[in-house]
Amino acid sequence: MSDDYSDQNNGRSWLERVGQFFTSTPGSREELLDLMRSMRDSHVIDGDTLGIIEGAIGVSDMQVREILIPRTQMVSIRASSDPRDFLPTIIECAHSRFPVIGDDPDEVIGILLAKDLLALILEPARMERFQIKDHVRSAMVVPESKRLDSLLREFRITKNHMAIVVNEYGGIAGLVTIEDVLEQIVGEIEDEHDIEEDDYLIKDLENGEHTVKALTPIEDFNEHFQCELSDEEFDTIGGLVMHAFGRLPGREESIDLGPFQFTVLSADGRTIRLLRVTHRQDDPALDASPE
């Protein structure tokens, strides 16, 4: 057998290890992963396949609270609202499912599918007779502590694509979708509404402006701009900006925070993704170039 198929660590070929895997139980997950890695090194599987296997094993150690979309970033519809009020938001967000809540923010009535609203766009006269309660689907509710592998299994059995996440007190903590779980296994799933991903967190532009990803840690932001924005309550610059707005802002909305003006360049209806940062001209202490 060629050296390409040899395990340099213990002298056993990958084929022998595969045979052992199917005839006995691996002693640990790490042993199983070591086997998969040796198969990758021997070019039996590629790196993407190994990544999927590692992701599939990893989700059993993760809980919903680790990947949920926080309540503050949810786009929901009030059951008492008029279609004329919420249709623009639904069109702008371009998502397929929206939580419907009652007068109490913790009262989830169900899930509204965007496709059920197509008739309102094609036949505006039907808006007068539209009642959300006639179209809402039952909501799947899960605790923050639910394991992702169990959630994925439940999604598959119930054919749901979204679940409302509740905390230990019964209040809404956020939501999670089947895409959020699958991304933990196969990596980020981009669609036509996603912005192009680059390796940078902060990009300095020639005109003195800067583009900053919302996931940029505040500590990194402060280091880059030589400033002291507070990171006591939030870890990311997006969380800080969201808090300053007090709601999910739309594209091109701006807000002043510290010595900067933040403008939302990209938001997907659930969270801010990309910001333009400029130094405020009305602050005499500002200098566009960090010292």
Query: Across residues 120-136, what is the average pLDDT?
Result: 77
Query: Across residues 69-94, what is the average pLDDT?
Result: 81
How many beta carbons lie within 10 A of that of residue 48, not counting itself?
11
What DSSP line would sit under 97-149, residue for residue? EEEEE-SSTT-EEEEEEGGGGHHHHH-GGGGGG--GGGTPBPPEEEETT-BHH
pLDDT at 195: 44
Greatest Cα pair distance, the chain, in angstroms, is 76
Q: Please tell me the total number of residues recorded for the chain in this structure.
A: 291
Q: What is the CATH number of the domain that holds 272?
A: 3.30.465.10
Among 140, 161, 186, the domain-final residue is 186
In a domain, 289, yes or no: no
Residue with the larger pLDDT of the pair 46 and 192: 46
pLDDT at 36: 79
291 vs 50: CA distance, rounded Å: 45
Tokens of 26: 């691996």
Nearest to 114 by CA among 142, 151, 166, 75: 75
In a domain, 160, yes or no: yes
In a shared domain, residues 112 and 165: yes
Q: What is the CATH number of the domain that holds 124?
A: 3.10.580.10
In a domain, 195, yes or no: no
In a domain, 212, yes or no: yes
In a shared domain, residues 83 and 126: yes
Question: At 287, is the pLDDT very low, low, confident or very high (cuts 50, 70, 90)?
Answer: very low
Specify burial of residue 267 (Cβ count, 10 A radius: 0-12, 13-18, 19+).
buried
Among 186, 215, 241, the domain-final residue is 186
pLDDT at 20: 52
| % of the chain with per-residue pLDDT over 90 | 23
| Radius of gyration for the alpha carbons in the chain, expressed in angstroms and rounded | 24
pLDDT at 26: 53
| % of the chain with per-residue pLDDT over 70 | 81
Q: What is the pLDDT of residues 151-163, one digit of tens each?
A: 999 999 999 999 9
First-to-final CA distance of the chain: 62
Nearest to 108 by CA among 169, 178, 176, 164: 164
CB-based contacts of 247-251 (< 8 A; 24+ apart in sequence): 248/72, 248/73, 248/74, 248/75, 248/272, 250/92
In a shared domain, residues 81 and 123: yes
Q: What is the pLDDT of residues 263-277, one digit of tens each?
A: 988 765 557 888 989
In a shared domain, residues 272 and 234: yes
Among 134, 153, 186, the domain-final residue is 186
In a domain, 18, yes or no: yes
Is a pLDDT exceeding 90 seen at residue 185?
no
Lowest-confidence pick of 58-62, 164-168, 218-222: 58-62
The chain-wide mean pLDDT, for the chain, equals 78
In a shared domain, residues 24 and 71: no
CB 117 within 8 A of CB 96: no
CB 260 within 8 A of CB 280: yes
pTM metric for this prediction: 0.55
36 vs 18: CA distance, rounded Å: 9
In a shared domain, residues 232 and 147: no
Integer CA distances (angstroms), 130 to 111, 282, 291, in order? 16, 49, 59
Could you list the residue range(s) of the whole structural domain that residue 14 is in?
Answer: 3-45
In a domain, 146, yes or no: yes
pLDDT at 154: 93
In a domain, 238, yes or no: yes
In a shared domain, residues 212 and 149: no
CB 222 within 8 A of CB 229: yes
Residues 6+ apart with CB under 8 A from 98: 75, 76, 77, 90, 111, 112, 114
Lowest-confidence pick of 113-117, 221-225, 280-284: 280-284
In a shared domain, residues 76 and 178: yes
In a shared domain, residues 210 and 156: no
The domain tally of the chain equals 3
Is a pLDDT exceeding 80 seen at residue 128?
no
pLDDT at 289: 39
In a domain, 286, yes or no: no
75 vs 97: CA distance, rounded Å: 10
125 vs 110: CA distance, rounded Å: 25
In a shared domain, residues 34 and 102: no
In a shared domain, residues 73 and 171: yes
In a shared domain, residues 116 and 218: no
